[in-house]
Amino acid sequence: MELHIVINGRKDLAAQLYQQLREAIATGRLSAGAQLPPSRLLAEQLGVSRKTVSDTYATLTYEGLLVGKIGRGTFVNAWAPQPNRVQTATDLACAANLAKWQALPSPMHHPTRDTTLRYEFIGGATSRNQFPQDEWRRCTQDALRRIAQNSGFYSQPEGLAALRSAIAGHIAFSRGVKCRDSDIVVTNGAQQALDLIARVVLEPGSIVAMEDPGYSPARHLFTAMGALVIGVPVDEQGIQVDLIPDGARLIYVTPSHQFPLGMPMSLPRREALLARAFALGAIIIEDDYDSEFRYEGRPTDSLQSMDSRGVVTYVGTFSKTLLPELRLGYAVLPPAIYGAVLKAKQLTDQHSSTLPQWALAKFISEGYLLKHIRRCHTVYAGRRERILQRLAADLSPWFEAVPTVAGFHMAALCKVPVNIPLLMELARQVEVGLYPLDVFFHDTPVRPGLIIGFGAIETLDIDPALDKVRDILQQIG
Cis peptide upstream of residue 213 (ω within 30 degrees of 0): yes
Residue 15 has pLDDT above 80, yes or no: yes
105 has a pLDDT exceeding 60: yes
Per the structure, the complete domain to which residue 408 belongs is given by: 119-127+371-476
Q: Does residue 305 share a domain with residue 161?
A: yes
pLDDT of residue 82: 57
Cβ proximity of 3 and 21 under 8 Å: no
Mean pLDDT over 272-281 rounds to 97
In degrees and rounded to multiples of 5, residue 387 shows phi and psi of -65, -40
Residues 352 and 434 in one domain: no
For residue 264, give every residue at least 6 positions away whose Cβ sits within 8 Å of its Cβ, in sequence order, or none: 238, 255, 256, 257, 258, 300, 405, 406
Task: Name which residue leads in pLDDT, 188 or 90.
Answer: 188
Residue partners of 154: CB distance under 8 A and separation at least 6: 350, 351
121-135, 324-338, 378-392: range with lowest mean pLDDT? 121-135
What's the confidence (pLDDT) of residue 102? 84
Tell whether 246 and 144 lie within a shared domain: yes
pLDDT value of position 1: 61
Average pLDDT across the chain, whole number? 90
Of 366, 387, 403, the residue at which a domain comes to its end is 366
Residue 91 lies in a domain: no
Domain boundary among 312, 343, 366: 366
The CATH number covering residue 379 comes to 3.90.1150.10
Is residue 295 in a domain? yes
Is residue 427 within 8 A of residue 434, CB to CB? The reply is: yes
Q: Which pLDDT value is given to residue 168?
A: 95
Domain end point (choices 351, 366, 381):
366
Cα–Cα dist 57/48, whole Å: 14
93-97, 114-118, 326-330: segment of lowest average pLDDT: 114-118
Q: Is residue 352 pLDDT above 80, yes or no?
A: yes
Q: What is the pLDDT of residue 408?
A: 85
Residue 98 lies in a domain: no
Q: Is residue 108 part of a domain?
A: no
* Number of domains making up the chain: 3
Q: Is 107 inside a domain boundary? A: no
- Residue at 328 is within a domain: yes
pLDDT in tens, 395-410: 999 999 998 888 889 9
Residue 116 to residue 69: CA distance in whole angstroms: 43
448 and 361 share a domain? no
CATH number of the domain to which 359 belongs: 3.40.640.10
Cis check: omega of the bond before 245, within 30 degrees of 0: no
**388 or 83, greater pLDDT:** 388
Please choose, from the candidates 456, 466, 465, the residue with its C-alpha nearest in 3D space to the C-alpha of residue 113: 456
- Residue 271, SS3? helix
Residue 94 domain flag: no
Is residue 86's pLDDT more than 80?
no
Q: Do 360 and 397 sit in the same domain of this protein? A: no
Do 309 and 401 share a domain, yes or no? no
Residues 52 and 153 in one domain: no
Strand partners, 411: 451
Query: Same domain for 225 and 185?
Result: yes
Residues 149 and 242 in one domain: yes
Residues 168 and 212 in one domain: yes
What gap in Å lies between CA 226 and CA 207, rounded to an integer?
9
pLDDT score of 372 more than 70: yes
pLDDT value at residue 81: 59
Rounded average pLDDT over 205-230 = 95
- Residue 403 has a pLDDT of 80
pLDDT for 107: 63
d(CA 21, CA 17): 6
Is 187 a domain residue? yes
This prediction's pTM: 0.82
